[in-house]
Amino acid sequence: MKYKKAQAYYADFNTIEVNRLPIRSYFIPFTTKKGALGSDIKNKRYDSDKVVCLNGIWDFAYYDNPNDLLDTFDTDTMKWDKLDVPSCWQFNGYGNPMYLNARYPFRFNPPKIPTTEPVTKYFSYETWFTHAKEGEYNHLGVYRTFFNAREDKRYIISFLGVCSCIEVYLNGEFIGYSEESHMTSEFDLTNHIKPEANELVCIVHRWCNGSYLECQDMFRNNGIFRDVLLKVEDKVDIWDIDFKYKKAKDGKYTATILVELSGNGKEEIEVSLTGHGIEKNIIGTPVDGKISVEFKDLDVIEWNAEKPTLYDLMVSIPNSYVYTKVGFKNIKIDDAIYYLNNKKIKIRGVNHHDTSPVNGYTMTLDEIEQDLKLCKEYNVNTIRTSHYQPDPYLLELASEIGLYIVDECDLEAHGCRTQSFLFNFNYLSKKRSWMSHYVNRMERHYGRDKLLKTPIIMWSLGNESGDGCNTMAMYEWIKKRSDIPVQYEGAVYNRTKAYDIASQMYPSVADITLVGERKSKTKQFNDRPYWLCEYAHAMGTGPGNLEGYMDVFYKYDNIMGGCIWEMVDHAVLHEDGSYTYGGDHGEWIHDSNFCCDGLFYPNRMPSTGAYIMKHAYRPLRLELASEREIRIFNTLSFTSGKEFRIDFEINGKEFSLIPDVKPLRKKIFEIDLGEIGDKDCFLNAKIYEIKTNRLVDEAQLILSEEIRLKPKKMPLPEEFKLVDGNPVIEFKDSKINTSIPYSILFRAGTDNDKERFYFKTMPKWYDEKEKITETFIGKEKCVVKTIVTANKNTFEVEDTYLGLENGVFVTSIIKPISVSGFLPRFGKAFKLDSSFDDVTYYGRDKESYIDMVDHSKIALCHSKVLDMVENNIKPQESGNRMDTRYAELSNGKVTYRFEAVSEAFNLGIKPYSDLELTKMLHRKDEVRSGTYITISKFQMGIGTGSCGPSTLKEHSYYADREYKLQFIISWSENKDK
């Protein structure tokens, strides 16, 4: 069939849509009541007899060079490939994945975008003038599928997500055009439909003018990436539904349901609201196709994320039934405190992007469900839908399982800051000519989600688009329609005041403490509820110091909490199981592994960050109040502590407690701890939610701690030698050497080892050199003195080896000679061959550093060497175990043991040396070269310097001090083998 290409709407600034139907609430009608009630929120769009899901394998033709698609094209003679719909081109071999954070992938010249010319010179403050590689164009993809339409109905096609824009054609005719990637676009196909084999053709452009408003930090994918639904409607049908409500002073609610029929219908409309003792039903006749139905004096159970009570709303006309669940909630802001249903709430949140390692933006509803269930499992109560609307299913599921939502509009103009003259972040937000584009996005945001607003606790205007009259116009628009407060981080620093909740990203704990005290220099933070739309950047090893934030969140009522950045790493999975990130796909500009910043790996396996979060977001917080008392803080707002059971264990003795603590209260419980003594004594607690038997937290309270060894002096054992000043212990056919460097002062830089976002601090230490200055070799004792230089610092290290009954007592003292700043680590590194694979240690059971330790407990642990490091997509320092009392490495025949003397140590066990690790970029670079053991006096904390505060001073160690590390090395033969 022949088609004439539509005019270049995608590059026409004055056109954001052609023949697109007005936005309406997301809902799925059925022809019968039974059908509507018989489906569920996940399956209804696939089950409905009024909807045909057009997902499947479509014909696809990809044009690298858009000029290759002629103005008139013939679908009968075109060469077609096959492509799954929904999907993203770049994840299916069309173009390459491209990861960019804050830049446009084209020259900044709004509203102009590349059309038919190649992308050439490209300016940004990050890379100045970069040439795009050859063949970079505003690529386009042509899609085709066929469907039948045998009934005499109205056919509306509904695209739930297409990037960047879509031209729709049917049976040789142009139907319409739409932009805004994450928003539903609907078109009426009826006038061009035929009973059989309708040819639906869509053209998707890589970029449109709207791309200036979609500069989000993510892989920049394209395609029809969400479900395509063909709605088979009656000539008169339910067009739109809104559900509004108000709470009166007496606590009763009035619900108003607004229904609009298409075709100016006069059919009687039945509306019912039922559940939890409410039975309301009204049949009414619309006027001009509209009706507003009111149910008064409703005595409802309000919805909250802890107890998500929903009511059944059914709206019907004789041949169309829409069943949806709705909740009631009441939001009030008083004296800068946010109240939900008259209770203070804390946001324990995450930022959620749509990301799949095999499908880019495309997530199945099962995958969305998996993410939301993970949130519940990890004690998250809020999702910010960064930085666009999610599939509507996410909102419906959140209202059912209980998660608060900060619903964000599809808006980010970040490239204005990185590419405009003089970093003008506000460039587009201030340009009046863009106002209709901004407001249109807000109208559609609200329009689609208004019926699904139950879990929404804030509207968000968007992300990082600066601020100006356009964001203000969005704010004013939504304020006229909704009582739900608005957050927009970009507005906070400007004068527009386009926000109800003050919002910030990545401030320090010290800064938000000032806000808590209402003494922030940024006055706007003090007079409204305040929250962190992003904090605790979870890139690589980390995030450090999450507990610091939690302390402040709980201390101050005006601080609502925040959403960790972000839930899941973005990366591309390959058949061999490897992952790639920015720069690995031939990108001419990219932001490297900045996309690997999630609490969960792309396959949704938890990283340590997820465990840190789970513990930090725990519902019940336990602390010792006195020797025989614990204080329990119930951090929930609507749930009694009685809904949990705590199973305690101390010195082998077990007992349980049902902690009757009211929401948001603390209470002291007396407990029988038995004999504590003066040795290591820990009270271990496992907290279960009784209803689900879910383990919500594991906590450990340290009652007493003592590491005391009384080594008996002997001559140095025969197996001990000094080779070139380094200790070597030879035992039978195995030996333990030192690694390089032996006195280790650095770590392989983590992503968070950055200062002010840019300066990598750790590599400067990699030049470490150690030179022996003095050696004393005696029968019972050897002493080696060295000078260690690194990062322009000079230290003296004195190592003493003393003979013991069955081992060697090592004392290493480091003294500053000429130093400045902080010392990342002080440890001793050893090497065994890789047959030593069995690890037993008594220390923290999870990866832990001084500022990320509370999620772990001291326990006896068994592990293999490979499991002692984390699977960060970009290898880096990981796997430290704090508070280690002893560690044993065995190859089945021989066991080497490192034992603390008076103070526990930090244990590092890796299959490669720390120096080798510094050179690795991907997991495939990991080559096992031995078994490496590092016994450290300390290692600095992790912080969140990749995009936030670097390691705090209190989690760092001054270089100008003397430090002493002591441990015993012993060895034994395994008699059984």
Compare residues 156 and 564 and give the one whose CB is closer to ligand GAL: 564
Task: Give the Cα separation of 649 and 670 in Å (integer).
Answer: 15
Residue sitting closest to ligand GAL (CB)? 217
Compare residues 216 and 737 and give the one whose CB is closer to ligand GAL: 216
What sign results for the dihedral spanned by CA atoms 840, 844, 846, 847? negative
Q: How far is the CB of 429 from ligand GAL (least distance, A)?
A: 15
Q: How far is the CB of 419 from ligand GAL (least distance, A)?
A: 16
Is 388 in a helix, a strand, or coil? coil
Compare residues 315 and 498 and give the one whose CB is closer to ligand GAL: 498
Task: Give the Cα separation of 538 and 629 in Å (integer).
Answer: 35
The DSSP element (H or E) to which 562 belongs, if any, is: strand 559-564
Mask for 419-438, x = binds ligand GAL (CB under 6 A): --------------------
The DSSP element (H or E) to which 375 belongs, if any, is: helix 365-377
Give rounded-to-5 percent helix, strand, coil for the chain: 15, 40, 45
Interacting positions 231-250 with ligand GAL (CB under 6 A): none
Task: Give the Cα separation of 95 and 360 in Å (integer).
Answer: 13
Compare residues 463 and 496 and give the one whose CB is closer to ligand GAL: 463
Q: Which two tokens stand for residue 625?
A: 């109040």
Q: How far is the CB of 464 from ligand GAL (least distance, A)?
A: 5
The angle formed by the CA atoms of residues 321, 324 and 326, to the nearest 5 degrees, is 145
Compare residues 328 and 600 and give the one whose CB is closer to ligand GAL: 600
Interacting positions 338-397 with ligand GAL (CB under 6 A): 387
Q: How far is the CB of 97 from ligand GAL (least distance, A)?
A: 17
Compare residues 594 and 967 and give the one whose CB is closer to ligand GAL: 594
Nearest to 533 by CA among 501, 509, 503, 566: 503
The contacts found for 665-668 with CB under 8 angstroms, 24 or more apart, are: 665/633, 665/634, 666/631, 666/632, 666/633, 666/634, 667/631, 667/632, 667/634, 667/641, 668/625, 668/629, 668/630, 668/631, 668/632
Q: Which of 385, 463, 545, 848 binds ligand GAL (CB under 6 A)?
A: 463
Q: Which two tokens stand for residue 945?
A: 């310097």
Q: How far is the CB of 412 from ligand GAL (least distance, A)?
A: 7
Compare residues 536 and 852 and give the one whose CB is closer to ligand GAL: 536
Q: Which of 933, 947, 952, 969 binds ligand GAL (CB under 6 A)?
A: 947
Q: Which of 234, 354, 534, 914 binds ligand GAL (CB under 6 A)?
A: 534
Q: How far is the CB of 566 from ligand GAL (least distance, A)?
A: 7
Q: Which of 260, 400, 408, 464 binds ligand GAL (CB under 6 A)?
A: 464
Compare residues 199 and 534 and give the one whose CB is closer to ligand GAL: 534
Compare residues 381 and 463 and give the one whose CB is closer to ligand GAL: 463
Task: Give the Cα separation of 522 and 495 in Å (integer).
Answer: 12
Q: How far is the CB of 363 from ligand GAL (least distance, A)?
A: 18
Compare residues 215 and 435 and give the one whose CB is closer to ligand GAL: 215
Q: Number of C-alpha atoms within 13 angstroms, CB side, residue 114?
A: 24
Q: How far is the CB of 895 from ligand GAL (least distance, A)?
A: 44
Task: Give the Cα separation of 448 and 674 in Å (integer).
Answer: 60
Q: How far is the CB of 379 from ligand GAL (least distance, A)?
A: 22
Q: How far is the CB of 218 from ligand GAL (least distance, A)?
A: 8
Interacting positions 558-597 with ligand GAL (CB under 6 A): 565, 594, 597
What sign results for the dihedral spanned by CA atoms 953, 954, 955, 961? positive
Task: Give the Cα separation of 227 and 236 in Å (integer).
Answer: 25
Q: What is the DSSP letter of 392?
A: H
Q: How far is the CB of 505 from ligand GAL (least distance, A)?
A: 5
Task: Give the Cα separation of 279 and 266 in Å (integer).
Answer: 25
Task: Give the Cα separation of 138 and 106 in Å (integer).
Answer: 9
Compare residues 463 and 966 and give the one whose CB is closer to ligand GAL: 463
- Answer for the pair 82, 93: CB distance below 8 angstroms, yes or no: no
Compare residues 114 and 466 and give the one whose CB is closer to ligand GAL: 466
Task: Give the Cα separation of 530 and 499 in Å (integer).
Answer: 11
Note the residue count of the chain: 977
CA distances from 75 to 142, 373, 612 (A): 10, 44, 54
Task: Give the Cα separation of 801 and 968 in Å (integer).
Answer: 9
How many chain residues are in contact with ligand GAL, going by CB under 6 A? 12
Q: How far is the CB of 101 from ligand GAL (least distance, A)?
A: 5
Task: Give the Cα separation of 636 and 656 in Å (integer).
Answer: 21
Strand pairing class (963-973; 807-818): antiparallel
Q: How far is the CB of 465 from ligand GAL (least distance, A)?
A: 10
Q: Considering the rule CB under 6 A, would residue 505 count as an interface residue with ligand GAL?
A: yes
Compare residues 504 and 880 and give the one whose CB is closer to ligand GAL: 504
Q: Which two tokens stand for residue 628?
A: 């025989």
Q: Considering the rule CB under 6 A, would residue 217 count as an interface residue with ligand GAL?
A: yes
Is 933 in a helix, a strand, or coil? strand
Q: How far is the CB of 581 from ligand GAL (least distance, A)?
A: 13
- Answer for the pair 229, 158: CB distance below 8 angstroms, yes or no: yes
Q: Considering the rule CB under 6 A, would residue 748 count as an interface residue with ligand GAL?
A: no
Task: Give the Cα separation of 312 and 830 in Å (integer).
Answer: 65
Q: How far is the CB of 178 from ligand GAL (least distance, A)?
A: 25
Compare residues 158 and 593 and give the one whose CB is closer to ligand GAL: 593
Task: Give the Cα separation of 636 and 561 in Å (integer).
Answer: 13
Compare residues 321 and 581 and give the one whose CB is closer to ligand GAL: 581
Q: How far is the CB of 568 from ligand GAL (least distance, A)?
A: 12
Nearest to 417 by CA among 129, 215, 131: 215
Interacting positions 688-707 with ligand GAL (CB under 6 A): none
Q: Which two tokens stand for residue 784?
A: 């080696």
Terminus-to-terminus CA distance in the chain, angstroms?
78
Compare residues 403 and 947 and give the one whose CB is closer to ligand GAL: 947
Q: How far is the CB of 370 from ligand GAL (least distance, A)?
A: 22
Mask for 90-119, x = binds ligand GAL (CB under 6 A): -----------x------------------
* Cα pseudo-dihedral 41, 47, 52, 57, rounded to 10: 90
The angle formed by the CA atoms of residues 691, 383 and 572, to the nearest 5 degrees, is 110
Q: How far is the CB of 591 from ligand GAL (least distance, A)?
A: 9
Compare residues 183 and 947 and give the one whose CB is closer to ligand GAL: 947
Contacts with ligand GAL by CB under 6 A lie at: 101, 217, 387, 463-464, 505, 534, 537, 565, 594, 597, 947
